[in-house]
Structure 1
Amino acid sequence: MPKSNTIPRFLVYLLISLGLAFVVHITILKSAGFPKYDNFIVKSYIVNGTLAGLIYIIIFVFKQKLKNQIGFLFMGGSFLKFIFFFLLFYPLYKEDGNINRLEFAAFFVPYAISLIIETIFMAKMLNNLK
């Protein structure tokens, strides 16, 4: 994978994956009779996608300089996502005293998809390091 194409390629895969997941997610919600845009679902997809993109770009830029710490940086990025969850989403979801399955899915689906795409591209990056 040429260096010049790696970041745009990652971002395209991430955007397409999250976009398709979002359409499927809201279609399922609508067909089940639930509100499509409830539980901060749009905010969740945007925050997870943005964080995944930023984390990947930062690690990619510093991959040669910090090649022995890439795994720790990746774990730090995942930790950062959890911090965002607990600061932005958790208080909103806990307002009624519990987190239901729809609220959990609104955050976890984009988080999991972003993590899978990040992991695939991170593994390719590590395999290409010399």
Structure 2
Amino acid sequence: MPKLNFLTQFLVLLVLLLVVSFGLHILVLSAKALPVFDNLIVRSYVINGLLAAIIFVLLYKFRQKLKNQIGFLFMGGSLLKFAFFFLLFYPTYKNDGDMSALEFAAFFIPYSVALFLETFYTSKMLKNLEGTTKK
């Protein structure tokens, strides 16, 4: 099997981790006899995955031009994710006046998985940039 380029590695791993995470999330909910597809869980996994992919693709695309601003752009991507949370999820979650642990987990688990992978690959990308600059 040929080695995947850096960006493709990230995207494949992102999809794989989110699918596994989603499966485990659903399995735990089902095992505890909790509502499986409530709390916008599917939307949360899809939106967090799409945002992580878009943000990382943009960081990767502009890595040479804006290498000194990658950290700020990364933080801007996190701000964008929070904006999506407050626009698309928070109103529904707070509709009953309270955000339950299940609602929080439905958003936070895919957010955390995507953020971890984005952080790891952005760090790796910056190390690669640093290595090419020193030569």
TM-score computed with the length of structure 1 as normaliser: 0.96
* RMSD of aligned residue pairs (Cα, Å): 0.8
Deviation readout 1:36-65 (Å, 9 max, x if unpaired): 100000000000000000000000000000
Q: How many residues align?
A: 127
Tell me the SS of whatever aligns to 1:72.
Answer: helix
% of aligned pairs identical?
Answer: 55
List aligned pairs for 1:1-130, cutoff 5 A.
Answer: 5-129=5-129, 130=133
| Unaligned stretches of 5+ residues in structure 2 | none
Task: Tell me which amino acid in the other structure corresponds to 2:39.
Answer: N
CA distance in 2, matches of 1:98, 1:31: 24
Structure whose CA Rg is larger? 2
Q: Hey, which bits of structure 1, 4+ residues long, moved more than 4 A? A: none
| Unaligned stretches of 5+ residues in structure 1 | none
CA distance in 2, matches of 1:63, 1:44: 28
CA distance in 2, matches of 1:39, 1:31: 17
Task: Tell me which amino acid in the other structure corresponds to 2:86.
Answer: F
Tell me the SS of whatever aligns to 1:37.
Answer: coil
TM superposition shift of 1:7: 1.2
CA distance in 1, matches of 2:63, 2:36: 39
CA distance in 2, matches of 1:107, 1:62: 28
